[in-house]
Structure formats: structure tokens, C-alpha cells
Amino acid sequence: MVFSSLVFLYAFLPLNLICYFICKNQTYRNWVLIVFSLVFYAWGEPIWVSLLIVNALINYLLALAVEKYRGFWQSKAALISAITISLGLLGFFKYWDFLVQNMNQLVGISLPLHSLGLPIGISFYTFKAISYLVDVYRGEVSAQKSFSKFLLYLSLFHQLVAGPIIRYKDIATAIDHRVHSLSLFNEGINRFVTGLAKKVILANTAGDTAAIFLNGDLATLPVLGAWFGITLFAMQLYFDFSAYSDMAIGLGKIFGFNYKENFNYPYIARSAGEFWRRWHISLGSFFRDYVYIPLGGNRKFYLRNLFIVWFLTGLWHGASWNFVLWGLYFGLLIALERFFLSKILEKLPRWISHAYLIFAVLISWVFFYYPDLQSVGAFFGAMFGWGSRELVNTQFSIYFSNNLFFFIIALLACTPITKVLGESIRKLTQKNTRVAFLYSETLRPSLNFLLLALATIMLVGKSYSPFLYFDF
């Protein structure tokens, strides 16, 4: 299931809220969340619930072993087995076919593919499990004694299928004792509705228009069409992904969990390094804490460590060479920035470093979008006007003028403008309680209501599928 669906909003969530808040006992509440999480996960892929539970069981038991034998070799053995099993399952489901295809091509053999498909969210919950095991091993958190509570951590539907990669130590106390309050519920609603609107109104619209330029005939794509298309795709990715994190954080607050931020306006960054400290923060910090630093970090083999991390970051996004290339591209930029680029950029006016980052990121999304190098090349051809190519064409003009306001709104939505506005409202209202009341008790609720209504209407609109030929 996804949050931005009618079934979630108008069946799953109301039922979940009733069942949850009817129970007064923390244990029952945890079970409500577990059952709903498993249904949420099973919706669409019932088979893989079993994999999720098995995964949870293995990691639960091995974490207990890690703790029990602390200081002995068995502890390390348990840790290594847990990581091996987790990565083994991830590797089998996500990378086996990719590996086999490459092997077959390279060596000329024909190993069979499993073609089982990718269990949803496996990339996220595998990393959650690994972070838990390592943290227990490092003694940063004690192992969870109750299996149901560990299953709750691993399966909690708020961040099960699309992140953020929440660490156990960050919500360990919340699993045992959660605080619920109207104030948190209120904040949760604000956050959830913001995310929902971002996804349904902004991400979907940007994606629909982007696809027209990115999926069309690249040989005749005009220069501005290419830039417009890739910019819209960049927006779609950001809105889509950060909206999912917004909704997860919002739901967390409603149910008494506090999740860390996962995005921090990445497109206002001024270097690739900064971009990655603002984009999918929970993934970047995972690789930093569990791969980069254990490898030696900045201290020894800096370049090796850097490229291992970025190779893996790329590969994590999908079992395909274009993602690897995409990851290594960022590794290269970050290395260059560290050696000399940052020093130069710092001396230049700010807008140049902004422009550099936007340019670099847009280029990266081309690798991200097209799985084959041929299309990547063709698209760069369009962006840089190789061959006899038009700057604009009719299709571009029509789409551009028909989406001009949307484009401006979307651009603004990539910046912290609403946050800044909110902050100034807060400052203003510190002095004036009547304005404060008007905002938080009237304006914001009405805005949320309107956004929820609009998102619902647009979700219903998505089901609109007229047929030219009668389909009875």
C-alpha cells in the first residue's frame, strides 16, 4: 500500500486510528500497529510478509546473541552471520538477476534467473536491521528482549516501504513508552497533509509532464525541452521522496514516534557534498556510520573508501549499471570538491556555486533516469544542442506555457520559502497571541482541509480512464 492512495486514506488509516486509540494499554497498541503494518505490507505482496517476519526473527535472535556473548568471539560471529544473512537475502532478491545477466554476458554461460521480483521495501528494512545489529554490537543500544517489539521496529508501516531508514536506538524508548498528545497529533496532521499534497499535487503533475519530454523521441527533442524535462524530473524525485518522508514523520508524530528529518531542501545546496547532507539523510548517514568510517574514513585510504561508498550508494538505488555510474559520478564530484573545487567555489559569488550544484545534479538525474548509456548520450545531445537541433518546438511551447504557474510554484516549493514564512509568522505571533490563534487555530486547519480535499479529488481523478472504444 502507499500513503497516497484512497484505500489508505479512507479505509486503512481511519480503521488504524480507531483500533489504536481505543486501546489504552501500550502492549495492545503495539500489537495494533504490528497487525496493521503487516496488512499494509501484505497489501499487494502477501508472499513477502513471510520474508519480513523471518528476517525479523533472525535478526532478533542474533542480536540477543551479540549481546549475550559481548567480549567473546561468538558476539562477532553472530554479528557477521546476521549481516551476511541480511545482505544475502537482499543480494539474492535484488541483485542476483543482475549479476547473472552480467556473468552470462561476460563469460557466455547461461545461468538461470530467478525472476521472483523485488520484495517491497527490502532495501530499507535490511539496512534498518543491519544498523540495529551493529549498534547492539557497539553497545550503543541494548538488544530488544521482546520479539514483538523488535518486529514493530522493523515492520512499522510509517517507514516500511520507502524510508526513512530509522535506527532502532532513535525509537527504542518510544517503542516502550510513547507520549501521545493533541499537540503532537496536531503537528503530525500538519506534516502528513503537507506530504500528501506534495506527492499528489506536485510530484504527480511534475512527473506526468516530465515523462512527455523524457520518453519522447530524443533525436528531435529540442534543447529547452530537454532542460525542462530533466528539471521536472528532478522536482518529481524530490517531491515524491521527501513527501513520503514527510508523511512518515507526520504519521510518526500522530502515533507518538519521533523520526529524524530525511530531507533538508537539497536543491539549495552549493556543493555535491552538501547536497548529500541534505538529500536522503538517513541513507547517507547509514553509509557514513556503517561503511565509510569503519573502512577508515578520511584517515586512511580516503579515495578507496569514498569510491566504495559511492559505488554502493549507486547500487543500492537499483540493480543496474546506470545507478552505479550515477553513484560514482557523485563520488567523483565529492573527491574533486575535496581536493580543489570547494576552495575555488568558495571564492566565487554564491550564485555560481548554486548554479554549479544544480547543473551537476541535473546531469546526474540523466544517469538516474535512463538505464542504457545510449539514451543517456542521446539526452545529453539534446541538452547541449548537438547536431542540428531546435532550441524550442511547438510541443515545448505548449507545455511550457500551460505549466508556467505550476513550474513557478514547484520551484518555490523546492526552497525553504514556506519554512521561512512559517518562522516569521511564529516570530510575529510571539508578540501577538490573537494572530497566533488565528494562524494555528483557523488558517492552518483550513489550509490542511483544502489540501486534503484537493489531494483526494486528484487521487479520484487518477482513476479516470476514458476509453475510445467501449469497454464492456
Ranges within 45-74 binding other proteins (CB under 8 A): 45-47
Q: Contact between 10 and other proteins (CB under 8 A)?
A: yes
Tell me how far, at minimum, the Cβ of 276 lies from other proteins, in Å: 16
Spatial neighbors of 74 by CB under 8 A, at least 6 apart, are 65, 68
What SS3 class is residue 118? coil
Q: In the structure grid, which three cell numbers stand for residue 185, read together?
A: 497529533
Ranges within 437-466 binding other proteins (CB under 8 A): 440-442, 444-446, 448-449, 452-454, 456-466
Residue 317 a catalytic site member: yes
Binding mask 374-403 for other proteins (x = CB under 8 A): --------------------xx--xxxxxx
Task: Report the residue number, 56 or 203, with the smaller CB distance to other proteins.
Answer: 203
Label residue 63 exposed, middle or buried (CB < 10 Å: 0-12, 13-18, 19+): buried
* Local structure of residue 439 (DSSP, 8 states): I
- With CB under 8 A as the contact rule, the residue among 123, 155, 262, 271 that binds other proteins is 123
Q: In the structure grid, which three cell numbers stand for residue 129, read together?
A: 536491521
Tell me how far, at minimum, the Cβ of 409 lies from other proteins, in Å: 8
Q: Contact between 19 and other proteins (CB under 8 A)?
A: no
Tell me how far, at minimum, the Cβ of 16 lies from other proteins, in Å: 11
Q: Contact between 372 and other proteins (CB under 8 A)?
A: no
Q: Cell numbers 530525511 label which residue?
A: 262
Tell me how far, at minimum, the Cβ of 6 lies from other proteins, in Å: 5
* Local structure of residue 268 (DSSP, 8 states): G
- With CB under 8 A as the contact rule, the residue among 44, 294, 377, 416 that binds other proteins is 44
CA-closest candidate to residue 394, choices 199, 191, 251, 221: 221
Task: Report the residue number, 428 or 443, with the smaller CB distance to other proteins.
Answer: 443
Q: Contact between 433 and other proteins (CB under 8 A)?
A: no
Query: If binding means CB under 8 A, how many residues of this protein chain bind other proteins?
Result: 89
Spatial neighbors of 461 by CB under 8 A, at least 6 apart, are none
Spatial neighbors of 376 by CB under 8 A, at least 6 apart, are 322, 366, 367, 370
Task: Report the residue number, 345 or 383, with the smaller CB distance to other proteins.
Answer: 383
- Find the part of the chain contacting other proteins (CB under 8 A) among 54-62, 66-74, 155-163, 286-294: 155-163
Binding mask 274-313 for other proteins (x = CB under 8 A): ----------------------------------------
Q: How many Å apart are CA 147 and CA 391, to the nearest integer?
A: 61
Spatial neighbors of 26 by CB under 8 A, at least 6 apart, are 176, 177, 178
- With CB under 8 A as the contact rule, the residue among 11, 303, 344, 428 that binds other proteins is 11
The sign of the torsion formed by the CA atoms of 456, 462, 466, 467 equals negative
Selected catalytic residue, list 158, 177, 317, 354: 317
Tell me how far, at minimum, the Cβ of 267 lies from other proteins, in Å: 17
User: What region does 437 belong to: left with phi over 0, alpha with psi -120 to 50, or beta?
Assistant: alpha
- Which H/E stretch holds residue 298? none
- With CB under 8 A as the contact rule, the residue among 208, 261, 372, 423 that binds other proteins is 208
Q: Contact between 411 and other proteins (CB under 8 A)?
A: no
Binding mask 172-201 for other proteins (x = CB under 8 A): ----------xx-xx--xx--x--------
Q: Contact between 419 and other proteins (CB under 8 A)?
A: no
- Which H/E stretch holds residue 264? none
- With CB under 8 A as the contact rule, the residue among 91, 273, 297, 371 that binds other proteins is 371
Cα distances (Å, whole numbers) of residue 261 to 37, 190, 277, 440: 21, 15, 11, 22
- With CB under 8 A as the contact rule, the residue among 38, 97, 129, 163 that binds other proteins is 163
Q: How many Å apart are CA 339 and CA 344, to the nearest integer?
A: 10
Query: Which residues are the active-site residues?
Result: 317
